Amino acid sequence: MESSLLGRVVLAHRAYGLLIALVLVGAGFAIAAPSFATSGNLFAMLHAMGPSTLAASGMALVILTGKIDISIGSNAFLSASLGALMMEAGYSPALAFAVILASGTVFGALNGFLVAYLRINSLIATLGTMMAYRGVGLMLTNARVIALPESVGPLANLTIGPIFVETIVMLAVVFAVHVVHRSTSFGRTLTAVGNGEEIAAKIGLDTRRTVFVTFALAGLLAACSASSSFIQVGSISGFLGKGLEFNAIAIAVVGGVSLAGGRGKIMPGILVGAAAFQVISNGLNQISADPYIYQLVTGAVIFVAMYMDAFKGPPTR
């Protein structure tokens, strides 16, 4: 009885609890390091969280179906490598970025085919493609650092007022993903699959197509993340996308997306989850904390999120 009551209390306040905790943590960092709360630093944090937020939005869609995609980091690297090689060869940057997005979608669709139609476990399927995509990318680039053309470099600092254009684009993309999930028949089917794929199939929903499209969208958003990272850093290397899949899973879980599938929202959950990790990272940097403590704090945040998620129980069948 006490556990059930505690569970209801946790669920009732979780939507606001993370936001309140985020504000309190931010206030603590602002007191410890006055430079943390400056407008310039706040907008810089919004800018920096763009790539991980985009990737987490795609990961959240996959998790909502009860699946997982651990290849998005390698997908981002391979897609960005193709675009970088095109720009290095003299092709138009606009065409190269279009190829990055198209490539990411195709690689995500391949994952979807393996999972939806060949019925391979999503963890196993994407573990294989994670290694394959990064291996192909490293072979194509010879593990070189490839710089962004000078003509494209200024995009990283393009602003409208104090807000980076990349931040505006990121918010627009995340909002579009939210609308797809909450306001379309595809989004409702996606949630139904997460609540019980067999039951969804029995009532006539095209579960295979839904899973396939979801992985393709995750690939597209991984490519969006790669494009954003490419522009921000100004180059690509073999490290691009390393660990992106785990950051995306962490953001989704902390943002309230249940790993059991079928429960969670893109907005505001993903934005708040991404902001939480960015605030922690930036704040620890501002107070000159030991860089290794970030992993400890991140792990603790994920553990607390998983503990709260456990009170939800299995999705409604």
Alpha-carbon gap, residue 312 to 6, rounded angstroms: 11
Of 187, 215, 180, 193, the closest CA to residue 109 belongs to 215
pLDDT in tens, the chain (317 residues): 444 444 444 444 555 667 777 888 888 889 988 888 898 999 999 999 999 999 999 999 999 999 999 999 999 999 999 999 999 998 999 999 999 999 999 999 999 999 999 999 999 999 999 999 999 999 999 999 999 998 887 888 888 988 999 999 999 999 999 999 999 999 999 999 998 888 998 888 999 999 999 999 999 999 999 999 999 999 999 899 998 999 999 999 888 888 888 888 898 889 999 998 999 989 998 888 887 788 888 788 777 777 766 665 554 44
Question: At CA 123, angle to CA 122 and CA 129, rounded to 5?
Answer: 85
The DSSP code sequence of 213-246 is: HHHHHHHHHHHHHHHHHHHHHSEE-TTTTTTHHH
Say what the pLDDT of residue 15 is: 53
| Sign of CA pseudo-dihedral 276, 279, 285, 288 | negative
Q: Which residues pair with 164 in a beta bridge?
A: 159
Own/partner long-range contacts of 34-39 (Cβ < 8 Å, ≥24 apart): 35/286, 36/282, 36/283, 36/286, 39/162
CATH topology (fold) of 17-25+35-310: ABC transporter involved in vitamin B12 uptake, BtuC (1.10.3470)
What are the tokens at 179? 């609308």
- pLDDT per residue as tens digits for the range 29-72: 899 888 888 989 999 999 999 999 999 999 999 999 999 999 99
The residue written with tokens 């790993």 in the block is 259
Amino acid at 190: L
pTM over 0.75: yes
Domain locations along the chain: 17-25+35-310
Give the integer Cα–Cα distance in Å for 43 and 171. 13
